[in-house]
Amino acid sequence: MRYLLAVLTCGRPEYLTPTLATYAEFLHPKPTAVYAWDDGLRTPREAFAPFSEVERFVIEGESKRIGRCSGHAHLWQAARKPEFSDIDWLFTIEDDVVLLRPLNLFHMAEVLEHEPTLEQLALVRCPWGAEIEHGGYIPMFRDRYTRRETHVAGSCPAHWISSTIDWTSSPALLPASLPREIEWPGGSGCELELGPRIMALRPNAVSGYWGWGECQAAHVGMERAEGSHGY
């Protein structure tokens, strides 16, 4: 499985390094390559230490912050770079969303390959902010989601939740062919605009969450980055 780990950061090594450490510990297999967009160019190279052994490691950015949505556009555009032309999958993460348990991307990729209308599989994030009293964002809007089960030969049934409304940027696994075909939306409502943009070209497309609602990742960035910019 050849995949690119695409990381969005904005100069917060106090979040980035421990966050990457969770992915280095729990992700299987290890990434073929790593791409990071350092928004503001304030992140020291040593902050990426948990993945320092990856041979193909590209860090780009601009000194003037462009914001979270525009930063994610660069993660998608990385799939089009010549140096990553052999990559089949893109796994996108942000610097303040930690992985809580072992994650086998082989199994997620099998489901994406088996389900022709499924365009991405995201991880369920633990409740945060106003979601806490409801038990999470999925329980808040149950009518948006449908439980699914995929049977792949030689594997146990895989559980996932489908939606045509929710498309998320992090953390998520998607085929590299998707960002090579479709541009990431600009503006502050990028995630809200992503689904309609995909469905305009692929009318039967759905997004998915891995598992049946169990918490797999957690948002630890409780403080807004200086100047915010959507982080």
Q: Is 219 in contact with 128 (CB distance < 8 Å)?
A: yes
Q: Is residue 126 part of a domain?
A: yes
Please give the pLDDT value at position 228: 45
Per-block mean pLDDT, blocks of 10 residues, the chain (231 long) = 97 94 97 97 95 95 93 96 97 96 96 96 90 85 92 88 86 97 88 91 94 93 53 58
In a domain, 228, yes or no: no
Residue 140 has a pLDDT of 86
**166-180: b (≥16 Cβ within 10 Å) or e:** bbbbbbbbbbbebbe
Tell whether 26 is covered by a domain.
yes
Indicate whether 28 belongs to any domain: yes
- The per-residue pLDDT for 224 is 46
Name, in order, each residue with C-beta under 8 angstroms of 113's C-beta and a sequence gap of 6 or more. Answer: none
Q: Which domain holds residue 205?
A: 3-219
Domain assignment present for residue 142? The answer is yes
CB 124 within 8 A of CB 110: no
Nearest to 176 by CA among 105, 84, 108: 84
Number of domains in the chain: 1
In the block, residue with structure tokens 């190279």: 45
Return the pLDDT at 225.
47
Q: What is the pLDDT of residue 137?
A: 84
CATH code for the domain of 192: 3.90.550.10
User: Does 224 reside within a domain?
Assistant: no
CB 8 within 8 A of CB 67: no
Q: Is the peptide bond before 44 cis (omega within 30 degrees of 0)?
A: no
Kindly state whether residue 227 falls inside one of the protein's structural domains. no
Residue 131 confidence (pLDDT)? 84
Which pLDDT score is estimated for 151? 93
CA separation (Å) from 195 to 11, 100, 177, 187, 208? Answer: 29, 27, 16, 14, 12
Decide if 225 is inside a domain. no
